[in-house]
A and B are shown apart, each in its own frame.
Chain A
Amino acid sequence: MPVTQQSDGRLAWRHLTPGESLARFAGWFALIALTVFCWRVMTADTIWAFVASAPAQAADIFGRMMPPRWDYAGRLWRPLWDTINIATMGTLLAIVLATPVAFLAARNTTPSAVLVRPVALFIIVASRSINALIWGLLLVAILGPGVFAGIIAIALRSIGFIGKLLYEAIEEIDERQVEAIRATGASPAQVMIYGIVPQIMPAFASINVFRWDINIRESTVLGLVGAGGLGLALESSLNVLAWPQVTLILLMIFATVIVSELIAAKIRKAII
Chain B
Amino acid sequence: MLRIEGLTKTYRTGDAALRGVDLTVGKGQVVGLIGPSGAGKSTLIRCVNRLVEPTAGKIYVGDTEITGLGRRELRRVRRRIGMIFQEYALVERLTVMENVLSGRLGYVGFWASWLRRFPEADIAKAFAVLDRVGLMDQVDKRADALSGGQRQRVGIARALMQDPDLLLVDEPTASLDPKTSRQVMRLLLEVCAERGFATIVNIHDVGLAQLFLPRIVGLRAGAIVYDGPAAGLTAEVLTRIYGEEDWTRTAARDDDEDDTAAALAIEAERRIVAGAA
On A, residues with C-beta under 8 Å from B are 174, 176-177, 179-187, 189-190, 193-195, 198-199, 201-202
**A185 CA to B91 CA in the complex, in Å?**
16
Q: Please, could you name 9 A-B residue pairs with CB atoms under 8 Å apart, sorted by A?
A: A182-B78, A183-B49, A184-B83, A184-B104, A184-B158, A187-B110, A190-B110, A194-B113, A198-B94
A176 touches B78 (CB 8 A): no
| Segment 10-38 of B: residues with Cβ below 8 Å from A | none
Knowing that A184-B102, A187-B105, A187-B110 touch, tell me 13 more A-B residue pairs with CB under 8 angstroms: A176-B85, A177-B91, A179-B51, A179-B89, A183-B51, A184-B105, A185-B77, A185-B78, A185-B105, A186-B106, A190-B110, A198-B91, A198-B92
**A199 CA to B98 CA in the complex, in Å?**
14
- Among B79, B105, B168, contact of A194 (Cβ-Cβ < 8 Å): B105
Judged by a CB distance under 8 angstroms, whether B218 is at the interface is no
**Distance (whole angstroms) from the CB of A179 to the closest CB of chain B:** 6
B51 touches A184 (CB 8 A): no
**A190 CA to B112 CA in the complex, in Å?**
10
Judged by a CB distance under 8 angstroms, whether B93 is at the interface is yes
A190 touches B89 (CB 8 A): no
**Distance (whole angstroms) from the CB of A9 to the closest CB of chain B:** 49
Judged by a CB distance under 8 angstroms, whether B162 is at the interface is yes
B93 touches A181 (CB 8 A): no
B87 touches A176 (CB 8 A): yes
**A125 CA to B49 CA in the complex, in Å?**
39
B85 cross-chain contacts in A, Cβ below 8 A: 176, 179-180
- Among A176, A186, A193, A201, contact of B89 (Cβ-Cβ < 8 Å): A176
**A184 CA to B83 CA in the complex, in Å?**
8
**Distance (whole angstroms) from the CB of B117 to the closest CB of chain A:** 13
A181 touches B87 (CB 8 A): no
Judged by a CB distance under 8 angstroms, whether B3 is at the interface is no
A184 touches B162 (CB 8 A): yes
**A176 CA to B87 CA in the complex, in Å?**
8
B103 cross-chain contacts in A, Cβ below 8 A: 184
**Distance (whole angstroms) from the CB of A270 to the closest CB of chain B:** 16
User: Which chain A residue shows the least CB distance to B110?
Assistant: A189
B75 touches A177 (CB 8 A): no
User: Which chain A residue shows the least CB distance to B105?
Assistant: A186
Chain B CB within 10 Å — which of A176, A180, A181, A189 has the most?
A: A180
| Segment 93-118 of B: residues with Cβ below 8 Å from A | 93-94, 98, 102-106, 110, 113-114
**Distance (whole angstroms) from the CB of A202 to the closest CB of chain B:** 8
**A180 CA to B168 CA in the complex, in Å?**
11
Judged by a CB distance under 8 angstroms, whether B233 is at the interface is no
A183 touches B114 (CB 8 A): no
Judged by a CB distance under 8 angstroms, whether B76 is at the interface is yes
Judged by a CB distance under 8 angstroms, whether B81 is at the interface is yes
B92 cross-chain contacts in A, Cβ below 8 A: 174, 177, 198-199
* A185-B76 contact given A193-B114, A194-B94, A198-B94, CB 8 Å threshold: yes
B219 cross-chain contacts in A, Cβ below 8 A: none
Judged by a CB distance under 8 angstroms, whether B90 is at the interface is yes
* A181-B105 contact given A194-B94, A194-B113, CB 8 Å threshold: yes
| Segment 113-159 of B: residues with Cβ below 8 Å from A | 113-114, 155, 158
A179 cross-chain contacts in B, Cβ below 8 A: 51, 85, 89
A195 touches B113 (CB 8 A): no
- Among A180, A193, A195, A199, contact of B83 (Cβ-Cβ < 8 Å): A180
**A190 CA to B75 CA in the complex, in Å?**
12
**A255 CA to B49 CA in the complex, in Å?**
59
A198 cross-chain contacts in B, Cβ below 8 A: 91-94
**Distance (whole angstroms) from the CB of A182 to the closest CB of chain B:** 7
Contact mask B20-64 → A, CB, 8 Å, 1/0?
000000000000000000000000000001010000000000000
**A73 CA to B143 CA in the complex, in Å?**
52
**Distance (whole angstroms) from the CB of A188 to the closest CB of chain B:** 8
**Distance (whole angstroms) from the CB of B158 to the closest CB of chain A:** 7
B76 cross-chain contacts in A, Cβ below 8 A: 185
**Distance (whole angstroms) from the CB of A168 to the closest CB of chain B:** 18
- Among B75, B90, B155, B158, contact of A187 (Cβ-Cβ < 8 Å): B75
**Distance (whole angstroms) from the CB of B27 to the closest CB of chain A:** 20
User: Which chain B residue shows the least CB distance to A188?
Assistant: B71
A181 touches B102 (CB 8 A): yes
B106 touches A185 (CB 8 A): yes
User: Which chain A residue shows the least CB distance to B161?
Assistant: A184
B106 cross-chain contacts in A, Cβ below 8 A: 184-186
* A186-B75 contact given A194-B102, A198-B93, CB 8 Å threshold: yes
**A84 CA to B257 CA in the complex, in Å?**
72
B110 touches A181 (CB 8 A): no
Q: Which 10 residue pairs spanning A and B have beta carbons closest together?
A: A185-B106, A185-B78, A185-B79, A186-B105, A180-B89, A198-B93, A183-B83, A176-B89, A185-B75, A190-B105
**Distance (whole angstroms) from the CB of A201 to the closest CB of chain B:** 6
**A182 CA to B79 CA in the complex, in Å?**
10
- Among A176, A185, A199, A201, contact of B162 (Cβ-Cβ < 8 Å): A185
